[in-house]
Chains A and B, each alone.
Chain A
Amino acid sequence: MFEGVPIHWFLVLSTLMFFIGIYGFLVRKNLITMLMSIELILNSVCINFVAFNKILYPGHLEGMFFTLFIIAVAAAEASVAIAIIINIYRRLVNIDVEKMDEMKY
C-alpha cells in the first residue's frame, strides 16, 4: 500500500495503456504512428516494473534498473527505426505499411 494507493490501481492503469497501444498498433498504417504505439506499450511496462519495485519490494532497486535499461533500449530502437523509416521514405516516397511490398516474392 503506497499511502492509500494500492498496487492494483497502478496495474490497471498500465494494463489500459498497454492495450491502447496494442489497438493503435493494429489499426494504424503509418510507420511513425506504429512506432508511437510501441512507445506506449514500453512505457506501460515501465510503470509496472516501478510499481512492483516500490510497493512489493521496497528494499531493493531491481525494478528501477530494469526500467532504466528498458528506456535505453527504447531510445536505441527509436533511433534505428527512424533511420530505416527515412530510408524507406527516400526510396518509396511514402511510409504506409501496406504499400511496402517491393521485397515480397
Chain B
Amino acid sequence: MTNNQFMFLLFSVVIVVFSLLTVTSRRILRAATFLLFVLVSTSGLYFLLRFNFLAAIQLTLYAGGIVVLIIFSVLLTSHISEKLAIPPVTKRIFAAIAAIAGAVLCILTILQTQFVQKTFDPARTNIRTIGEGMLSTGKYGYALPFEVISVLLLAAMIGSIILAKKRKD
C-alpha cells in the first residue's frame, strides 16, 4: 500500500464515520463539531490531490466560516443541554431504505464504468494560473461567473442583514 493510498483511506474513513455521526447525533452542538471534522478531512483530500489553494479555501471558508456560523445559530436557537427527539422508527427505516438503495445503485454504476484515466500530473496549480483563469474573458476564462458570484454574495449579505435585524413594528 502506497503512502497516498494510506492517506486516502484514512481521510475517507474519517469522512464516512463523522458524516454518519453528524446525521445521527442527538446533540446539535456535537453534530456541528462532527461536521467540522468532515470538512477538515475533505480539505485533506484536496491537499492530497495537490489543489493547495482550493484546500486553503475549504479550510477558511467552510471550516472557519460556515461551521462557526452554524455553531452561533445553534447557540442562539437551542439550549446547550437539549437533546433532539429520536425520529420515529418508520421514518428512519424508509429514509435508510431510500439512501441505501440510491447508494447501491450509484456505486454499482460507478464500478461498472471504465474511465480513461490519465497519468497523474504532480504539478501544483499555481496562483497565477488561477487568477488569470478567474479574470480572463476568452476560452477557459471565468470572468462572467466570477462577477455574478460577487453580486450574489453582496445580495446575500444585504438580504441576511435585513432578514435578521429587529423590526420596528
Hey, which bits of chain A sit against chain B, CB under 8 A?
1-13, 15-24, 26-30, 32-33, 35-37, 39-40, 43, 46-47, 50-51, 54-62, 64-65, 67-69, 71-80, 82-87, 89, 95
A contacts with B: majority SS: helix
- Pull 24 A–B residue pairs with CB atoms less than 8 Å apart, ordered by A: A1-B119, A2-B49, A8-B110, A8-B115, A10-B45, A16-B103, A19-B103, A20-B16, A22-B99, A29-B85, A30-B84, A36-B23, A39-B66, A40-B23, A47-B42, A50-B46, A69-B149, A72-B153, A75-B156, A78-B66, A82-B70, A83-B159, A83-B161, A85-B77
Residues on B close to A: CB < 8 A?
A: 1-2, 4-5, 8, 12, 15-16, 19-20, 22-24, 28, 31-32, 35, 38-39, 42, 45-46, 49-51, 53-54, 57-58, 61-62, 65-66, 69-70, 72-74, 76-78, 84-85, 87, 91-92, 94-96, 98-100, 102-103, 106-107, 110-111, 115-121, 125, 129-130, 133-134, 140, 142, 145, 149, 152-153, 155-157, 159-161, 163-164
Knowing A61-B130, A64-B54 touch, does A15 contact B110 (C-beta < 8 A)?
yes
In the complex, A15→B62 CA distance in Å?
20
Compute how far the CA of A2 lies from the CA of B51 in the bound complex, rounded to whole angstroms. Answer: 13
Q: Beyond A79-B157, A84-B163, is A15–B106 a contact (Cβ under 8 Å)?
A: yes
How many angstroms between the C-alpha atoms of A58 and B71 in the bound complex?
Answer: 37
Chain A hits for B117, CB < 8 A: 1, 6-7, 55-56
Please give 8 more A-B residue pairs, beta carbons under 8 A apart, in addition to A19-B106, A39-B35, A54-B51: A6-B117, A8-B115, A9-B12, A17-B19, A18-B106, A20-B16, A54-B49, A76-B155
* A16-B16, A71-B62 as given contacts; A58 in contact with B149, CB under 8 Å: no
Chain A positions within 8 Å of B100 at CB level: 19
